Amino acid sequence: MIDLHYWPTPNGHKITLFLEEAGVEYRIVPVHIGAGEQFQPDFLRIAPNNRMPAIVDHEPVGGGESISIFESGAILLYLADKYGQFIGTDLRARTETVQWLMWQMGGLGPMLGQNHHFNMYAPEKIPYAIDRYVNETNRLYGVLDRRLEGRDFITGSYSIADMASYPWIVPYERQGQKLEDFPNVQRWFEAIRARPATVTAYAKGAEIGGQKLMTEEAKKILFGQTAKGLG
């Protein structure tokens, strides 16, 4: 049994996409990040970066104590290795999956996250910051579109690289992008959206909390953090 510490955001959805595809038994432990639950000591013990998702695997391969993991890319790799699915098996194919997973973790996720921040949440509209991240989003969509030319999925067959990337494309309108400008991304997006596991993963997310409007209280918690804690 796997405990998934989760809130329905793009990084959270990555993990339910995997668990639903693989048919793994898991239990969702909600971490209401807008209410500050990511600062609970029990959660910080498994996720010291005060960010979800995190998992605890109570039945690791080979037995022994439970293993806890934070960082969605590390979780996807762990699960892909454990269940032997959604990752290339020979050296070249595995390296390709890992490289595109890291592209999502180091580029697509952080840049689109800043796009959301400056477009939707920043108290002042700073044109330089908005342009910077909308343009970078556009560039990254272009990279993904070229990669998907002649391929059904990022590495050929459906993998953890797709599961990491898809949830970040879901809010494409809020990111100032049009899918028609990226026909390969559009085809890929529709194909993943129609997968039964994707439908179930997002339905479970909606049951937990959905994408509620960000309250002023939540903004203070999420955007006022320093090394000393909340500002």
Residues that bind ligand GSH (CB under 6 A): 9-11, 33, 38, 50-53, 71-72, 222
Least separation in angstroms between CB 181 and ligand GSH: 25
Q: What is the phi-psi region of residue 132: left when phi exceeds 0, alpha when psi lies from -120 to 50, beta otherwise?
A: alpha
Q: Which residue has the tokens 């809010």?
A: 171
The dihedrals phi and psi of 180, each to the nearest 5 degrees, come to: -60, -25
Q: How far is the CB of 91 from ligand GSH (least distance, A)?
A: 25
When the beta carbons of 154 and 182 are compared against ligand GSH, the nearer one is 154
Q: Which is nearer to ligand GSH, 171 or 176 (CB)?
A: 171
| CB 92 to ligand GSH: min, Å | 25
CB 127 → ligand GSH: shortest distance, Å?
25
Nearer to ligand GSH, 114 or 198 (CB): 114
Cβ 110 vs Cβ 71: under 8 Å: no
Give the distance between the most distant pair of CA atoms in the chain. Answer: 53
160-169 vs 183-193: helix crossing angle, rounded to 10? 100
Least distance from ligand GSH to the Cβ atom of residue 54, Å: 8
C-beta of 63 vs 229, nearer to ligand GSH: 229
| Cross-strand bridge partners of residue 226 | 229
The identity of residue 99, as a single letter, is Q
Q: Is the CB of 70 or the CB of 188 nearer to ligand GSH?
A: 70
Minimum distance from CB of 61 to ligand GSH (Å)? 22
Q: What is the Cα gyration radius of the chain?
A: 18
Which residues lie across from 57 on neighbouring strands?
2, 67
Instruction: State which amino acid sits at residue 15.
Output: I
Q: Residue 181 or residue 230: which is nearer to ligand GSH going by CB?
A: 230
